[in-house]
């Protein structure tokens, strides 16, 4: 390529860094999905887009909180 001389010297390292960040982002998304799947609020998240803050509450306390919303 004749234009190679005009490319920044660190273009390859910038591309590699972007790839590493993308892999980290994918790993974090997979971890978040695993957490959501393992909690009782996953179906609520799918329907409302919100995550319940305290997942350790007993069911009757959660139902009271939902009625208050």
Could you tell me the CA-to-CA distances from 62 to 35, 41, 42, 45 in Å, in that order?
19, 10, 14, 14
| pLDDT band at 1; cut points 50, 70, 90 | very low
CB 3 within 8 A of CB 12: no
How many domains in the chain?
Answer: 1
pTM assigned to the model: 0.42
Any domain includes 52: yes
Q: Tell me, what's the pLDDT at 29?
A: 87
Any domain includes 55: yes
Q: Tell me, what's the pLDDT at 24?
A: 92
Range of the domain at 14: 10-68
Q: Tell me, what's the pLDDT at 10?
A: 67
Dihedral sign from CA coordinates of 21, 28, 65, 46: positive
Residues 19-56 have pLDDT tens digits of 889 999 999 988 887 877 776 555 666 666 555 554 55
């Amino acid at each position: 390529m004749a234009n190679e001389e005009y490319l920044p010297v660190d273009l390859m390292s910038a591309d590699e860094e972007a790839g590493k960040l993308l892999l980290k982002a994918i790993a974090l998304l997979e971890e978040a999905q695993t957490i959501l799947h393992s909690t009782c609020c996953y179906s609520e998240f799918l329907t409302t887009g919100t995550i319940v803050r305290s997942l350790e509450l007993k069911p009757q306390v959660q139902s009271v909180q939902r009625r208050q919303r």
